[in-house]
A and B are shown apart, each in its own frame.
Chain A
Amino acid sequence: MKSPLNFCPNYRQAAAMPMSRRDMLQRSTLGMGSIALTAMLADQAGAAPLAHRPAKAKNIIFLFMSGGPGQTDTFDPKPLLQKLDGQPVPESIAVNVPKIPRSGVNSKLMASPFGFQKYGQSGIEVSDLFPETGKMVDELCVIRSMNHRIPVHGPGECIALTGTAVGDRPSMGAWMNYGLGNESQNLPGFVVFLSNTTGPAPQRAGWGPGFLPAQYQGTVVDSKKGVPFTGMPSAYTGKSRRDQLDYIKWMNQRHLAQQGHDFELEARIASYELGYRMQTSAPETFDVSGESEATQKLYGMDEKHTAEFGKQCLMARRLVENGVRCIQLRNGGWDAHGSIEANHRARSRATDKPIAGLLQDLKQRGLLEETLVVWGGEFGRTPTTEGTATGAKRGRDHSPAGYSVWMAGGGVKGGQIIGATDELGYVPIDRPFSPADLHATMLHSLGLDQHHLTYEHKNRDEIPTVFGGEVIREVFG
């Protein structure tokens, strides 16, 4: 078996300049399509055929619910928990809870304040927080057995989005952007939206490039202003800007002619044209006013609570249509240490309809098959209540020991549940999965083999899932 460490034996990306043509390809976004893939194919010429499979999905939308939605309140109903409300955790379950801080095993159990209903043909139970998403349940593959050991937000977000808690490795989005290449000539390949940034601060590592070149990082987009710096200063008109760009080009080409051959200088000249296209077309892509009223309504844009996230979900669809491959929609504030009922109701009210609208819209446009949608937070929440609060003030602490995520589209077999937690929702008792398993699965859906997606850093061919991770095969039926 080929170890990822000796993949690409002849390719040593210079750790320093000047760059080779290969480096240039890797480091510039000049609309050359799948750069990493091209590079890998080139390296594989004459060697064993690439393991990369034909992809179902071309795009990914990660709905990142930061703060940690409680699994027992969303997608993992526990009747026993309802019965044992206020009781201590039974020994039989407590013994299996990993000894990590704030595991809450010594607190009292807390029944979910939300009811559960069966939806769709599959009859999967979804809490009444998500009546709209519930209607799409036959598209969802719910994984109830996620777990890791990081009980705090920052490192938790890092492990959920980069694979390690330290936060110094590339985000999965950056890996995907690197692996898939940017199809769009006019937009960044990986776009990030932040919404409801109350609660734990967003971790830049979650969309950062790590050791990958900077162009693979997520571009944080303001849902009002769009791609940063695409707004032209008022001192310019379209014509004066064009004249200016022509002047820059004229000067740069003279300079290049004097210098002779130089890929970097050529790339920089080209970047001005790409920037210009981005400036002119990005605002159009982000302008949702042209969408029909029905579509806007579908995303909940007509209602106060859902307007912000709805708009972002709609923009996500438009970005997908315009060739942006990786999108992260971050919704913060799920960190319900107290008053979980009020907190989760507010959060679900803001996101349920937009998410269901997005799934429906992608489906009706035939985009769902080629777009992987993933929903989840950095961890779940304890089945017990936190502290001594009573009544409606009760909340739950962080719990990475067992939590739920779901996937849809992108070749995912919907209407199924994978894995299970114990009777109270504490720890997985069947098919436990790590964030790295989820990452491997997401990459797989996009046609990327975790072991063959390599980037050389400090003389090591790095892969996205460096500490393990297996594709969850049954996700794809």
Chain B
Amino acid sequence: MNISFPIGFAALLITACCGAEDRIASEEFTYLESGWQSGDEGFGWNGKWILSGQRPALLVDGKEEHPREVLIQGTGERNNPLRRELKTSFRGEELFARFNFRYDPEKDAKSDDSEFFVMWFDRVDGGDRAVHSAGIPNIGIHVADQGPKKGKVVFIARIGSDRTTWSTVDLKRGENYQVVTRLSKTDPDERAAFDRLELWIDPEPEDLKKPAAKVVQKNGVNFVRWIGFATGRKTEASDRILIDDLALSRSWIDVLDLSADKKQPPREITHNLPPSLWTKTVSFNDDVYPLLKKKCFSCHKGANSDSGYRLDVRSEVLGYSTGDPLAIPGDGANSKLFALTVSKDPKKQMPPPEEGERALTPLESDLLRSWIDQGLQWDEKLLPEPNASSDHWSFQPVKRPQIPTPKDTDRVRTPVDAFVAVAQEKHQLEPAEEASRRTLIRRLSLDLIGLPPTPEEIENFLNHSSGTAYADLVDRLLESPHYGERWGRYWLDLARWGESHGYQHDIPRPYAWRYRDYVIDAFNDDKPYDRFLKEQLAGDELEPRRDENLIATGFLAAARISGNQMDKALQRNDVLVDIVNATGSAMLGLTLECAQCHNHKFDQISQRDYYRMQAFFVDGQLGNVSLNDPDTPNPTNLEDWMSAGSYKFYMSEAAKLVKQKKFAHTTQAHTWGFHSPKTTVAGVERLPVVNRDPLPWNPEILKTAKARLLIRGEVTQPGPVIESGWPEVLGKAEGSDDKALTRTELADWMSDPDNPLVSRVWVNRLWQFHFGKGIVATPGDFGIQGEAPSHPELLDWLAAELIENNWSTKHIHRLIVMSSTYRQKRAYNEANAERDPDNTYLWNWPQRRLEAEAIRDAVLTATGELKPDVGGPGVDPEREEANLRRTVYLTQRRSEMPRVMTMFDGPEVISSCSHREVSTVALQPLYLLNSEFMMNRAEALAKKAKSIAGDNLTSRIDTAFERTLGRAPDAEERAHTLTMLKSAPDPEAAFVHFCHALLNLNEFVYLN
């Protein structure tokens, strides 16, 4: 199936300057050499510009930001060199207008020259010599009759020649000015006159209340249909007035281009090019195609073209996926494709000069130029649009495979075993025996709830002889409230969740913990995974409004925000990029981030696809969002869950904002979330945020915000407007003209059974968290560069199971942990190791070190000190001793992550973390042996053992072993330990040291 492109796509690229709803009309005067003839460009006009027969305005080359501008010169009498009719008469209350203006007379012009030049707003055109004066608003320049600038040429505003206000802004020669005006009515009635006119010169956004000139006049026009420019008797032939970048709008924000919807940068314009050497009509097939094939296609053909520029697809030549057109039909001279072939800069020249034989002759270059000039004719049969599909395995729909039958079926407990056994048979691998029951209860307990079993639990399990003992244990653990604390933590890594803004100031987000609890609860409740994703992507859009849904948007809101970024466009883009990258990685298992600046080098993800994803989020913002369910708890004792330093810092930053009236402390329940003034359900209030340089919040701007394809990922180079959608290779996404796809629709697409990635990515993650390695070893990259699945059918079977069982995560857990594969023991086998050294086919249990949280939690379980409280605000890591809760509840300010987490490979909390590394560093034993925390635990364990076992040293040793390793010492260990303790000068101290040693053992910190 071919991709269809919007009609007039090339034209869109050039005129895409008018996204904002407030815009009435605009004109950038990017007309080409052919001058005004090239038609009715611009937006919001009825017909072309009308030029004066007396002396018309000319189009000339400008410089830098003004590649083309309009030149107006005087005639010594009244003249209207340029005027145009609006598409619809403006009858609103407020009309804003702006244009760029420069007065650049010929050098010999008199310096004491008096001048007259205005822009007028009228109901009628009136012809070349009309006087647009009585009751007609004018802005422009004139000699001041009175006031401080008397006799000087200044900017003026007037409604009729009798009511003029002279500003104090002098006109300087050669200087560029942005002239801005507001025409408004005191009486909003449609028939009332526009009676107020204000003028600004080079205004800043905050200058709205400070116009440079203001005039009030009762009798004015009551609507505007024509605008134009006029010169007068004092304007001489040698005067040069240059105009550019005209816009009419309903709002100040839009007229100043402050909306998030930035306009496209101007194109580079080539000057003074001689006529083309190519004089014939160009034939694509006979002339162009052979040339491209011979000189260009070796590098610029196919999906992986050099620098992402491909010349074998017409839409790509037009810049479809990069926003950076290589050719502008009708304008060969200014098209990159031509310009690069004639560039004198060896770094830019194409084909590169070092490939001497491929350099284009002048005639060949001109052929390209003429081809573009003549409309970029193409042969779609010869070079068709590529198919937006891929044969990559992970992009194909999930198909439930047949469960295979291995030769040896004895070991098949769940279908998982059948898939695993078949692969083992194929690779001639002998699976290991089942692990001991003692090992299994420890494994299950650490794996499912992140806590080791207590000696009593072990005893019960060993004595429980019924056939359902194992299944009962699995059920008990999956129903434990501690299950969510263990498995929710994996999701928090994926969500790059932290309790602060990040970057330099890293200001705390006091209520971000609600999202942590949401995730834990979601796992405990076995919330269907599709619903889980939907709430996180679009919770604020879901009816009915529920606190839980709003809290779920903490996923999007976990993006970092620089608190010291004055460039708002950059600050905002960083947040959007963070959201898109995290969503792509966590939910889709794709490295979308590669396409931020260029088409993905490996996967069929274009830059356009990237910004299509970004478009889902442009109308929203991070912030504190009000909650109002009566049962939502609302603790306000912030100082108890932040470190002293971060609390003090937070309060001082808050005080600053309070003083500036930008923030007020509130006791209203709220959460750190994401919401949109456009799509969020009613009843959600935004509360102020403490951040030194806050993300701007302007609902009006956000409502009309549009995503733009950023050329090469540069905020300063916005390209065409992009509508929301997912990568084309994953299926067509189309909103309608008046309604873009929402985040809810994104979530629906994610949970569509036809989505090839979401279910596979999730079951693969579950597999990885159980076995240490996924069926796809690159859990965050299911693209072409990712590893192929070791058991492709098993992956699909699990994905199908997930979907067909209401997206139940616990269902997948059961399929896995009930299997014989999971119950194997860790057993090295020389023959197997030779065939499969990485244990890819799971011929024995893949032992691995526990994560930071599980290490600390296991220590606290061994000592019996762990407080089992679930949920609520975190614990300040500096005061952990006073509240020994699970590690997941230690407050996670990004710059103050708990020590145990930075020590044992915790996430960086910047981007989505699919897999934690395991590093073995000398600082780890130093922490486990010398930190105060661990010393206290050693003492607590010794005390606990003594309280249970009394004074008998042997039973104390046994107790300490059981509490840490889940087993009694064997005879040799017991004897060795006794000898060591008895020979010590201080046996009590030695017993503490022995307990301390147990907490350091490999056997203790490894999941066997």
Contacts and interface: CB of A to CB of B under 8 A. Distances in A.
Do A and B interact? yes
B454 to A, nearest CB: 22
Contacts of A157: 504
B438 to A, nearest CB: 14
B773 interface: yes
Interface stretch (B119-127, B390-398, B865-873, B985-993): B985-993
Given A264-B920, A271-B922, A278-B923, 11 more contacts: A14-B773, A17-B773, A17-B848, A28-B921, A201-B504, A215-B921, A228-B926, A229-B923, A271-B920, A276-B925, A458-B781
B604 to A, nearest CB: 16
Given A17-B918, A240-B990, A228 B923 contact: yes
B626 to A, nearest CB: 30
A240 B915 contact: no
Interface stretch (A117-125, A128-136, A146-154, A347-355): A146-154
Interface string B984-1004: 100001101110110011110
25 contacts: A14-B773, A16-B773, A18-B772, A18-B773, A153-B504, A153-B564, A214-B905, A214-B917, A227-B926, A228-B926, A229-B927, A230-B930, A233-B932, A240-B984, A252-B1002, A260-B828, A264-B848, A264-B849, A268-B920, A271-B924, A271-B925, A272-B925, A275-B926, A279-B930, A459-B786
Contacts of B777: 14-16
Interface residues of B, number: 76
Interface stretch (B317-325, B519-527, B831-839): B831-839
B919 A214 contact: yes
B826 interface: yes
Interface in B781-810: 781, 785-787
Contact of B565 (A155, A251, A268): A155
Contact of B846 (A18, A100, A235, A259): A18
A229 B930 contact: yes
A255 B919 contact: no
B591 A259 contact: no
B853 to A, nearest CB: 16
A33 B404 CA distance: 49
Interface in B746-793: 768, 772-774, 777-781, 785-787
Contact of B781 (A18, A252, A459): A459
A50 interface: no
Contacts of A260: 827-828
Given A14-B838, A168-B911, A265-B1006, A458 B567 contact: no
A288 interface: no
A247 interface: yes
A458 B591 contact: yes
A149 B232 CA distance: 46
Contacts of B562: 152, 154-155
A420 B780 CA distance: 45
Nearest to B992: A235
B58 interface: no
Nearest to A247: B997
Given A201-B895, A261-B828, A243 B984 contact: yes
A230 B926 CA distance: 6
A411 B902 CA distance: 36
A229 B917 contact: no
A251 B972 CA distance: 11
Given A153-B564, A229-B930, A188 B768 contact: no
Residue from A29, A214, A275 having most chain B Cβ neighbours under 10 A: A214
B788 to A, nearest CB: 12
B993 A236 contact: yes
Nearest to B969: A251
Give the interface centre of A19, A157, A248, A267 by most chain B CB atoms within 10 Å.
A248
Given A28-B921, A204-B895, A214-B905, A259 B565 contact: no
A274 B828 CA distance: 27
B980 interface: yes
Interface string A224-258: 00011111110110001101100110111011100
A435 interface: no
Contact of B997 (A168, A214, A248): A248
Given A16-B777, A229-B923, A240-B984, A248 B1000 contact: yes
B505 interface: yes
A20 B837 CA distance: 8
Contacts of B930: 229-233, 279
Contacts of A251: 973, 997, 1001, 1003
Nearest to A200: B504
Contact of B1002 (A227, A268, A279): A268
B58 to A, nearest CB: 26
B847 interface: yes
B312 interface: no
A16 B997 contact: no
Contacts of A208: 908
B846 A154 contact: no
Contacts of B565: 152, 155
B568 to A, nearest CB: 9
Contacts of B977: 247
Contacts of B787: 12, 15, 459
B910 interface: yes
Interface residues of A, number: 74
B242 to A, nearest CB: 18
A449 to B, nearest CB: 22
A28 to B, nearest CB: 4
A399 interface: no
B503 interface: yes
B643 to A, nearest CB: 13
A18 B993 contact: no
B574 A166 contact: yes
A88 interface: no
B1002 A235 contact: no
A12 B778 CA distance: 11
A203 interface: yes
Contacts of A155: 503-504, 562, 565
A363 interface: no
B478 to A, nearest CB: 24
B567 A269 contact: no
Nearest to B983: A243
A294 B768 CA distance: 60
Interface string B732-753: 0000000000000000000000
A101 interface: yes
A474 interface: no
Contact of B920 (A27, A279, A459): A27
B839 A18 contact: yes
Given A155-B565, A259-B847, A260-B827, A235 B839 contact: no
A250 B976 contact: yes
Given A271-B920, A458-B781, A254 B973 contact: yes
A269 B1006 CA distance: 13
B989 A267 contact: no
Given A15-B787, A213-B917, A248-B1001, A152 B566 contact: yes
Contacts of B902: 214
Nearest to A460: B785
Nearest to A182: B922
B651 interface: no
A210 interface: yes
A465 to B, nearest CB: 16
Residue picked from A152, A188, A256, A267, most chain B C-beta under 10 Å: A152
A219 B923 CA distance: 9
A167 interface: yes
B375 to A, nearest CB: 37
Contacts of B910: 166-168
A422 interface: no
B503 A167 contact: yes
Contacts of B935: 233, 235
Interface string B517-547: 0000000000000000000000000000000
B201 interface: no
B815 interface: no
